[in-house]
Amino acid sequence: MRVSEPLTSIVVPTYNRAYCLPRTIDSALAQTNARIEIIVVDDGSKDDTPALVASRYGSDPRIRMIRQENGGVAVARNTGMQAAQGDYIALLDSDDIWMPWKLELQLACMRARPEVGMTWTDMEAIDPEGNLISSAYLRRMYSAYRWFPTSESLFRESMPLAAVAPRLSSVVGHRSFSVGDLSSAMIMGNLVHTSTVLFTRERYQQTGPFSDQYRQAGEDYEFHLRTCRIGAVGFVDIASIKYQRGFADRITRNENDVHFARAFLRTIAPIIEKERAVIDLPPRMINAVLAEAHGWIGEASLEANDRRQAVQHLAWSLRYDPKQPRLLGLMAVAALPTSMRGPVRSAYRSLKSRALGRSPN
């Protein structure tokens, strides 16, 4: 690592994660050919996180810890980004793990294309025991990719990663770095995973902080959408992190589904209303994403036993796309008496889980 290397600030928000935080911080410290500072934001932890960080990393000048009252992950990230001193800022959730060459590769890509204000990558998924679930999990996790089946359908150009970062040619193989304008494509849903992103200080200053309106869920998508709507972004087509699945304290638990659904609609609806004429998407896709948003809220509301909201949003979804047999079935379920609704919903969940090849629990 050369002293002339730009400083990268790594923001790690954490809450009661002493059981897994060290492996996350260690993966950031292990970055090759990168000058870093790590800002750990303890969002009011009740476990021994402060003592652990002090005892294990207290003598390392690259690590700072900021403690605050619990405000949620968006507030914690904002605290860390405001304190960041780097030319680049990276976000790392406190249960994920970086590959050692992650920053080196992304920095090489962004130096090669200075107009790119943010890059993100693919990711591996692991279970609580560390076993590999998927070696390329991004498209599997983010369903909006189904609208863009190839790199060419998203980006205006691509280049070989080995040419951009020759020192890492044995790692990247024949993978590519793609660049483009995703300001319209991101309206179809999130395409960016937070623990993989790296952005310039300039892009952060243009984007602004995570919104405090999304404390319960959905702050990532709204932030990344704003980032992509400012200017060019780039996708590094290789898994640079190990994404942790299966921990009980993850925000993506099923009971948070209705909050994610509402946040999604709240993010896209104002943009579509104000800018529909200039959004570079065909009308069928815009109608489809609005149908999906309302349908998601309707189904999640039904799961939460909120019949009124379920019927309202299922009806809106069917207005945007009447050809949805599954939603017609959910409308029928919503019309049942309360005593019958629960068993029918349970049967529906079981069938849906079998179709997806997973446990209903």
Residue range 84-126, pLDDT digits in tens: 999 999 999 999 999 999 999 999 999 999 999 999 999 999 9
> Is 75 in contact with 62 (CB distance < 8 Å)?
no
Confidence of residue 339 (pLDDT cuts 50, 70, 90): low
Is the whole model's pTM more than 0.85, yes or no? yes
Q: How many CB atoms lie within 10 A of CB 224?
A: 23
Condensed to tens digits (0 to 9), the pLDDT of residues 303-335 reads: 888 889 999 999 999 999 999 998 998 888 888
Lowest-confidence pick of 6-15, 167-176, 239-248, 262-271:
239-248
Q: Report the percent of the chain where pLDDT is more than 70.
A: 89
B/e letters for 21-52, b = 16+ CB within 10 Å, e = fewer, are beebbebbbebebbbbbbbbbbbebeeebeeb
Q: What is the pLDDT of residues 153-188, one digit of tens each?
A: 999 999 999 999 999 999 999 999 999 999 999 999
What domains lie within the chain, and their CATH numbers? Answer: 7-244 (3.90.550.10), 254-356 (1.25.40)
Contact between 182 and 148 (Cβ < 8 Å): no
Report yes or no: 240 and 98 within 8 Å, Cβ to Cβ.
yes
